[in-house]
Amino acid sequence: MPELPEVETVRRVLQERYAGKTVTAVALGKPTFYRAPPLAAIKILTGGVIAAFRRRGKYLIVVIEGRGEVIFHLGMSGRITIGGESPHVRFQMWIGTEALRFHDSRRFGRVGCLLPDLGPEPLDTAFTADYLWKLLRKRTAPVKALIMDQKLIAGLGNIYATEALHAAKVRPGRAGKSLSRAEVEKLAVACRDILSRGVEAGGATLDDEAFLDPLGRPGRMQMGVMVYGREKCGTCGGPVIGTRKSIGGRASAYCPSCQL
C-alpha cells in the first residue's frame, strides 16, 4: 500500500514529466466511487497549468497555477498510471495526449481539495527525538498505533512503522510511555532512516501489495524489509511473531528475539 516513499516515488515521476503542462480534460470514474463528486477539484484542474506535484505525508498534491491545489490519497490499493485500462478508474486527467489515471480497486482513495491535519514528517527538521519523546511520554496506546497516527507523524503506514520499530528494537505493542529516552532516540532515527531508504529505493513492491510507479516500475525497498510479511527475521533468522488485528485493529509483526 502506498506510504510516504511510494507516494514520493509517484510524485517524482509526475513532476518530471508533467510540471508546466496543461490539464486539457478531466473525467470522473463511476459515480459509485464517490459519496459526493469532487466538483471543486474538477474546476481547479480543468484547463489549468500544473505548477508542481507536491506531497504531504501520504497525500499527493497537484498545484495549479493561480487556482489552488487538488489532493489525492491513494488509500491502500490506489495506483497512478499513464494510460492503462482497468475497471477501477476513480479519476483521470489528460495532459496533452496522455491520460493520467487513478485506479482504486478497493475504493479507499480520495480526491478533494482539503488536506487534513498532519503531524511533521520523519524527514522534516521538525521531527526530532525530542518531539517524539514529548509525543510518547504520557501515552498508554501502543507505540505502533501512535507512530501510524497521521495527526502525530505523517507518512508511516503498516510496513514502515513495523520496520522502524524493528530497527529500533522495540516491540509494537509497547505503551508509548514505556519507551526509555534512549529507545525513543533510536526510534526517531529509525523512522527517518527507514523512510529515506524507502524513497531512495523507489518504494516497496511486496508480493501481495504490488506497488508500481506510474511508468510500471517496481520499487526495491522490499529487499530491505526485515520483519513485515516475513516468517524469519532478516536480522537474526529467528521466527517472526505475527498477530492479526491486535494493535489499532491492524495486523502486526515483530521479532521477539531482536525487539524488547
Which CB sits closer to DNA, 174 or 186?
Answer: 174
Q: What angle do CA 206, 211, 215 make, to 5 degrees?
A: 140
Instruction: Name the strand (E) or helix (H) holding 157.
Output: none
In the complex, minimum distance from the CB of residue 136 to DNA, in angstroms, rounded to a whole number: 9
Q: Which range touches DNA (CB under 7 A), out of 19-27, 40-48, 180-188, 244-252?
A: 244-252
Grid cell, residue 231, equals 516468517
The residue from 139, 169, 217, 220 that contacts DNA (CB under 7 A) is 139
Can you tell me whether residue 86 is helix, strand or coil? coil
Q: Does the annotation count 121 as an active-site position?
A: no
Q: How many CB atoms lie within 10 A of CB 208?
A: 6
Binding footprint of DNA, residue count (CB under 7 A): 37
The residue from 15, 99, 251, 257 that contacts DNA (CB under 7 A) is 251
In the complex, minimum distance from the CB of residue 90 to DNA, in angstroms, rounded to a whole number: 11
Which CB sits closer to DNA, 144 or 192?
Answer: 144
Which CB sits closer to DNA, 23 or 147?
Answer: 147
Residue 28 CA to residue 7 CA, distance in Å, equals 21
Which CB sits closer to DNA, 151 or 181?
Answer: 151
Q: Bridge partners of 5?
A: none
Would you count residue 184 as binding DNA (CB under 7 A)?
Answer: no
Cα torsion 128, 134, 139, 145 to 10°: value is -20
Binding positions for DNA, 53-82, rule CB under 7 A: 57-58, 73, 75-77
Residue 217 CA to residue 202 CA, distance in Å, equals 9
β-bridge pairing 59-64 and 250-254 = unpaired
* N-terminal to C-terminal alpha carbon distance within the chain: 27
Residue 41 CA to residue 176 CA, distance in Å, equals 38
Would you count residue 119 as binding DNA (CB under 7 A)?
Answer: no
Q: Which range touches DNA (CB under 7 A), out of 8-16, 92-100, 150-158, 164-172?
A: 150-158
Enumerate the active-site residues. Answer: 2-3, 58, 250
In the complex, the residues that contact DNA under the rule CB under 7 A are 1, 3, 32, 57-58, 73, 75-77, 87-88, 105-108, 110, 116, 138-142, 145-146, 148, 150, 157-159, 176, 208, 244-245, 248-251
